[in-house]
């Protein structure tokens, strides 16, 4: 599965991933990872991962970077969508534009990631 990191916590080694199939979000948690805080998954990173369902929740495993910081504006776009007070489901969809950032961050190079992931 491929997805975009919507939220992450480097200290707790947790992340929430929006999946390519537009189904339920996937949750990643692995407190034993050897990532340093500055190389953990960041909001906007596009990752490939294995997914399994446990107790009606999607769990992500073995995330691998495809592109870093490609969708950093996506989480902000989702937060900006207004919610109705009664949460009525409408018959129309609201499309959130997805635009890739112009350049990847320099602090995570492909070689650095390969070295850390083994």
Domains annotated for the chain, with CATH where assigned, are 2-83+93-117 (2.40.50.140)
pLDDT, block means (10 residues), the chain with 118 residues:
92 91 91 65 92 93 86 69 58 62 58 62
Return the exposure string of 36-75: e unless at least 16 CB atoms fall within 10 Å of the residue's CB, then b: eeebbbbbbbbbebebeeeeeebebeebebeebbbbbbbb
14 close to 28: Cβ distance less than 8 angstroms = yes
- Based on its alpha-carbon atoms, the radius of gyration of the chain, rounded to whole angstroms, reads 15
How far is residue 18's CA from residue 35's CA, in Å, rounded to a whole number?
A: 21
The pTM of this model reads 0.61
The pLDDT score that the predictor gives to residue 114 is 63
């Amino acid at each position: 599965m491929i997805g975009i990191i919507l939220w992450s916590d480097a200290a707790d080694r947790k992340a929430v991933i929006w999946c390519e199939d537009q189904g339920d979000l996937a949750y990643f948690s692995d407190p034993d990872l050897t990532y340093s805080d500055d190389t953990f998954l960041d909001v906007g990173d596009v990752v490939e991962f294995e997914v399994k369902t446990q107790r009606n929740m999607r769990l992500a495993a073995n995330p691998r970077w495809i592109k870093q910081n490609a969708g950093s504006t996506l989480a902000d776009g989702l937060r900006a969508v207004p919610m109705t007070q009664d949460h009525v489901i409408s018959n129309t969809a609201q499309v959130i534009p997805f635009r890739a950032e112009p350049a990847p961050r320099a602090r995570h190079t492909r070689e650095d990631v390969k070295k850390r992931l083994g």
